[in-house]
Amino acid sequence: MKKLAGLLLLLCLGNLCIAQHILTAVIKDGESKEPLAGATVLLAGTTKGAKADANGVVVISDIPDGKQTFAFRYVGYNEHTETLTFPRGNDTIIVFLEHGEEEMEEVVISSTRSTRTIQNIPTRVELIAGEELEEKGNMKPGDIRMMLNESTGIQTQQVSATSANSSIRIQGLDGRYTQLLKDGFPLYAGFSGGLGLLQTPPLDLKQVEVIKGSSSTLYGGGAIAGLVNLISKVPTEERELKFLFNGTSAAGLDLNGFYGQKFEKVGLTVFASRNSSRAYDPSSTGFTAIPKTVRYVFNPKLFVYFSPKTKMNIGVNTIFEDRMGGDIQYIKGKGDNVHTYFEKNKSSRVSTQFSLEHQFSKKSTLSVKNSVNNFSRTITIPDYVFDGKQLSTYSELTYNHNGERSDWVGGLNLYTDNFKEFPKDNFPKRNYDQNTFGGFIQNTWQATDWLQTEVGVRGDHVIDYGFTFLPRISALFKLSPKLTSRLGGGMGYKTPTIFTEETERIQFRSVLPISPEANKLEKSYGANFDVNYRTTLFDEVSLSFNQLFFYTRINDPLLLTNEYKLINTDGSIDTKGWETNVKLGLGDFKLFIGYTYTDAQLNEGGIKRENPLTAKHRLNNVLMYEVEEKWKIGLEAYYFSKQTLNDGATGKPYWICGFMAEKLWEKFSLFVNFENFTDTRQTKFDTIYTGTISSPVFRDIYAPLDGFVVNGGLKLNL
């Protein structure tokens, strides 16, 4: 009897052993095919799991009969599931994991005139898109200043103490050296550039592309410090209808709406907004930190799909704005013999964009683009009025040929810029009429699996100022699946106008006209080199590290003399430095750390001095906690070191801290933002003007004036 019982027990154990199975897998990177040491596998519905060895091999045992699902995971990669039926053969399976940022890496970059994704472009391009773009929109829904200012190497410089007019400074260079584009069109050049940052809400933007360094080869003059290309949303078959309502503790109100949808043969996008603010002064200076403003924006765009090979779009951008800053008592209607100072800006912008594209084959495409921009602006201060109108056009013909390993793009373009002034006194008019004819050709070549190059040349002839030749070269080195590097360099130029940061500060008053006889093109060259490394620490923490080194030199820079004359000085501006960006991810937490070192020197007649309004050291810190489709919480801290000012003084160093939170539901979300909750203000530790309150002479603005401001609101996605 005992022998029979023992035999039955052995049979049961044998069947049990037979019913337990083993799975062997090799887990690899989906792109590089390299093994992922430390990756894990988990048997669904159980706690059974295992970790891959140095060769990416993982073994999981004690698997029951039947269909079983396995989850393969690795930090920084998307989870992959496999369903297998047991018993099965003893074959080893190979599992490929895709990067968690694959969606971002598949974004096509248009600023380089190629059709390649961001991970395969030799030119270094910084991208602001998706959730990051939405988060910055929560903080400042009315314009794009904050979105750009919180990137390393970029500083939005306020050039008016009372009306908040601002420009973009990249790597220590004045705002006029940054080319601001909208869908590849130079709508914000010359006179119209002064208010461009303040009049561009971010809700209708798909992404923002930033190229730092001399880039005039791409779109012509102006891109000495770099370019910022604002890419608009395009309609999709799924309707997009969004509204954003935002209010601030400084009595600001933003009402924004966007609609987009693609039908069978046509598509449509419409953006409309009303942005307003009351005059606000949190200090005892008596001048507005935030001007009284009312702005209306309406941007409709029609897309026509004639066939799978031919498409067209035509759009209109309209902006109408009244902006008044100055003495807070005067703005509120309580002015008297003492409280008399004001600065009033009345502006309007109506621009059209047209694009027609025809695909001859899968490899070749011809496109035609045109824009017309009409911009008017009147600046009024006591005893002076500046009234001007700019009419500019941009036309371009481009041919693309894309091969398996080599892409070619070439084209011709014409840019016209006509400015007329309507003076109220006998001062000489500052009218000008500038026309530029240009041609360009560019090749992007995949030389090997680890090397890609991008080489381009442009020739521009500026009427009255001559011809300029602009080469550019970039290279991408894929040294390993985790390590890449980019090296690039090019040349740039800027056609002289009276519209600079220096002249904007004094409302262009008494500034003498520009002339081809007395002035010439500002020309530049520059280079940059970066290294990007991505890995995983302790099997749980994702790490992304980028180190950039840059150098730019501008010869014969245009400077304002004490006689209010703009001259090309016998000298140069040299800016060099580096940017360090570190991104760490652990679960639902992400930490971003950025540091910028900028050494910008002005060499004037053999005498060197620091270029004013450039923080030599800058630190960006952002900690984000995000539960997908539920919560977003962020804490920010930014440091600016001391800066040399135009009057010879030195500005104080300071920190700015902020906190934001957003609660998301399926169709709507609520957000709140505590901007600058440490209430850092220049008026706390420095003066902003000399003279009297009736006749102020404003100093450089290098720190916030509005201080601690809370904003919050509602976003609807219908």
Find all residues with CB under 8 Å of 515, minimum gap 6, and list them: none
> For 4-17, what is the mean pLDDT?
46
CA distance 336 to 75: 66
**Whose CA is closest to 706, among 674, 689, 682?**
682
Instruction: Work out the end-to-end distance of the chain between its first and last CA atoms, rounded to an integer number of angstroms.
Output: 76
93 and 236 together in one domain: no
Full-model pTM: 0.87
CA distance 617 to 598: 7
**pLDDT tens column, 385-412:** 999 999 999 999 999 999 888 999 999 9
Distances 550 to 575, 578, 619 between C-alpha atoms, Å: 8, 6, 17
Task: Note the pLDDT of residue 102.
Answer: 44
**Whose CA is closest to 553, among 576, 587, 584, 521?**
576
The pLDDT confidence band at residue 15, using thresholds 50, 70 and 90, is very low
Q: Residue 128 domain-assigned?
A: no
* Amino acid found at 99: H
Task: Note the pLDDT of residue 6.
Answer: 52
The pLDDT confidence band at residue 10, using thresholds 50, 70 and 90, is very low
Cβ proximity of 579 and 598 under 8 Å: no
Among residues 97, 131, 156, which one ends one of the domains?
A: 97
**pLDDT tens column, 348-374:** 999 999 999 999 998 999 999 999 999
- Backbone dihedral region of 225: left (phi > 0), alpha (psi from -120 to 50 degrees) or beta? alpha
CA distance 284 to 700: 18
Task: Note the pLDDT of residue 189.
Answer: 79
Q: Reply yes or no on whether the pLDDT at 3 is more than 70.
A: no
Look-up of token digits 């005067």: 330
CA distance 60 to 75: 20
Residue 235 belongs to domain with CATH number = 2.40.170.20
Q: Residue 184 domain-assigned?
A: no
Question: Would you call the peptide bond into 202 cis, given omega within 30 degrees of 0 as the criterion?
Answer: no
Task: Note the pLDDT of residue 7.
Answer: 46
Q: Residue 211 domain-assigned?
A: no
Q: Give the tokens for residue 509.
A: 């008053």
- Count the domains in the chain: 2
**Whose CA is closest to 660, among 637, 681, 636?**
636
Q: How many CB atoms lie within 10 A of CB 629?
A: 10
> For 269-298, what is the mean pLDDT?
94
Find all residues with CB under 8 Å of 87, minimum gap 6, and list them: 21, 65
The pLDDT confidence band at residue 148, using thresholds 50, 70 and 90, is confident
CA distance 583 to 590: 7
Q: Residue 466 domain-assigned?
A: yes
Which of 30-39, 288-297, 448-457 is predicted with the least confidence, judged by mean pLDDT? Answer: 30-39
> For 24-42, what is the mean pLDDT?
85
616-621 own/partner pairs: CB under 8 Å, 24+ apart: 616/641, 616/642, 616/643, 617/641, 618/152, 618/155, 619/593, 619/594, 619/595, 620/150, 620/151, 620/152, 620/592, 620/593, 620/594, 620/595, 620/596, 621/591, 621/592, 621/593, 621/594
Q: What are phi and psi of 579, to 5 degrees?
A: -125, 135
Cβ proximity of 254 and 280 under 8 Å: no
Cβ proximity of 388 and 395 under 8 Å: no
Q: Reply yes or no on whether the pLDDT at 598 is more than 90.
A: yes
Find the DSSP H helices in 54-156.
Answer: 102-105, 130-139, 145-149
Q: Residue 355 domain-assigned?
A: yes
**pLDDT tens column, 157-192:** 888 888 888 888 899 998 889 988 999 888 787 787
The pLDDT confidence band at residue 13, using thresholds 50, 70 and 90, is very low
- Backbone dihedral region of 501: left (phi > 0), alpha (psi from -120 to 50 degrees) or beta? alpha
Residue 49 belongs to domain with CATH number = 2.60.40.10
Query: Measured in whole angstroms, how far is the alpha carbon of residue 247 from the centre of its chain?
Result: 24
**pLDDT tens column, 559-582:** 999 999 999 999 999 999 999 999
The pLDDT confidence band at residue 662, using thresholds 50, 70 and 90, is very high
Cβ proximity of 388 and 420 under 8 Å: yes
3-state secondary structure string across 616-643:
CEEEEEEEEEEECCCEEEEEEEEEECCC
> For 193-215, what is the mean pLDDT?
82
CA dihedral defined by 190, 191, 195, 200, rounded to 10 degrees?
Answer: -60
Q: Reply yes or no on whether the pLDDT at 14 is more than 70.
A: no
3-state secondary structure string across 418-448:
EEEECCCCCCCCCCEEEEEEEEEEEEEEECC
Q: Which domain holds residue 71?
A: 18-97
What percent of the chain has pLDDT above 90? 63
Task: Note the pLDDT of residue 100.
Answer: 66
Task: Note the pLDDT of residue 186.
Answer: 86
Among residues 97, 114, 142, which one ends one of the domains?
A: 97
What percent of the chain has pLDDT above 70? 95
CA distance 274 to 394: 28
The pLDDT confidence band at residue 486, using thresholds 50, 70 and 90, is very high
**pLDDT tens column, 210-243:** 999 888 888 888 889 999 999 999 999 999 999 9
Which DSSP helix (H) or strand (E) runs through 7? helix 2-19
Q: Residue 10 domain-assigned?
A: no
Look-up of token digits 């809400």: 201
**Whose CA is closest to 169, among 572, 593, 596, 565?**
596
Q: Reply yes or no on whether the pLDDT at 118 is more than 50.
A: yes
Q: Residue 553 domain-assigned?
A: yes
The pLDDT confidence band at residue 33, using thresholds 50, 70 and 90, is confident
Task: Note the pLDDT of residue 18.
Answer: 45
Which of 45-49, 441-445, 511-515, 649-653 is predicted with the least confidence, judged by mean pLDDT? Answer: 45-49
Among residues 66, 97, 128, which one ends one of the domains?
A: 97
CA distance 180 to 680: 29
* Amino acid found at 472: R
Q: Reply yes or no on whether the pLDDT at 676 is more than 50.
A: yes
The pLDDT confidence band at residue 8, using thresholds 50, 70 and 90, is very low
Task: Note the pLDDT of residue 538.
Answer: 81
93 and 235 together in one domain: no
